[in-house]
Amino acid sequence: MSSYLSYLMGAENIQDAELEDLGVKIKDRTSDGDRMLVIPDDKLSRYVEFIKVKLANGFWNEVIFNKDNYKIKENFNEKYKNFTFNFSFSFY
């Protein structure tokens, strides 16, 4: 299954259990409480809607396509190995 990666900061009011309930895996955490997440492809839209409501003002969240876990067609990973697929959204 394909997945996305995200570095979540500005989310002091988001509990780990809320992310886990969405099907999001917390891969690591910094000493400041920022979280490194793995978001399954089929959970991405729910995650984005959740973050739109819960992210602290002044922060943004980037989601990066984890191309190492996904193969669209033959030679895709080789052809696009130097590209990063990402999008970000912010709410002020």
Q: What is the pLDDT of residue 83?
A: 46
Sheet holding 35-40, edge to edge: 25-29, 35-40, 3-8, 60-65, 86-90
Full domain range(s) for residue 79:
3-90
10 CB-side CA count, 13 A: 17
Helix (H) or strand (E) holding 20: helix 16-21
The pTM (predicted TM-score) of the whole model is: 0.71
What is the residue-level pLDDT of the chain in tens, covering all 92 positions?
678 889 999 898 999 999 999 999 999 999 989 999 999 989 998 998 899 889 888 888 888 876 554 444 444 444 444 444 444 544 43
Domain count, the chain: 1
Residue 31 CB contacts under 8 Å (≥ 6 apart), including other chains = none
